[in-house]
Amino acid sequence: KNYIYRDLKLENLLLDEKGYAMLTDFGLAKNIRAEEKAMTFCGTPEYLSPEVLLGKGHNRPTDWWTLGILIYEMVYGIPAFYDRNRKTMYQKIVREPVEFKSSPAISDKCKDIILKLLEKAPVKRLGSISDSLEVLSHPWFAEIDIDRWHLIDNSSLSVEETVQRITQVAADAQR
């Protein structure tokens, strides 16, 4: 409780032998009270939130921003505001709206959660009011059949079979 992670990205998500996602690399994590703001400029460039880039201070809403970038990257294979030129990318993060690609087609609920997580104003961002309860209450998560995840909890599956099942469950959730 009271931690901000500040480095959520695909490279920091690993699967254990049972297929459960595990976070790694807590080097940027910080214990901070809800009313405080961290001022450190840190994180992965493609995942930085507007408030970090603008030096306004950040807290938990920055982690919800990175979740939005993560979901977008998992869907499209590239972070939402990516540009080879870092300065241009930072300008896009701060100023430009999220653009959805025509392929693959994603559900309106998936688009909505991405848009709400990538809200430029941290006080309006999904998760800024009641944290994870607010995020998990989003309709996009209602489409995920938690009981299907129990299929993954089978130590007799190979890593490849586990990844295939996780991919299928995630694909089903996007439809």
Give me the active site residues, please. 7
CA dihedral 21, 14, 141, 157 (to 10 degrees): -60
Residues in the chain, overall count: 175
3-class DSSP assignment, residue 58: strand
Preceding peptide of 97 cis, ω within 30°: no
C-beta of residue 28 within 8 angstroms of C-beta of residue 6:
yes
The one-letter amino acid at 166: I
Here the contacts of 114-118 (C-beta below 8 Å, separation 24 or greater) are 114/68, 114/71, 114/72, 114/75, 114/80, 116/68, 117/64, 117/65, 117/67, 117/68, 117/71, 118/65, 118/68, 118/69, 118/72, 118/80
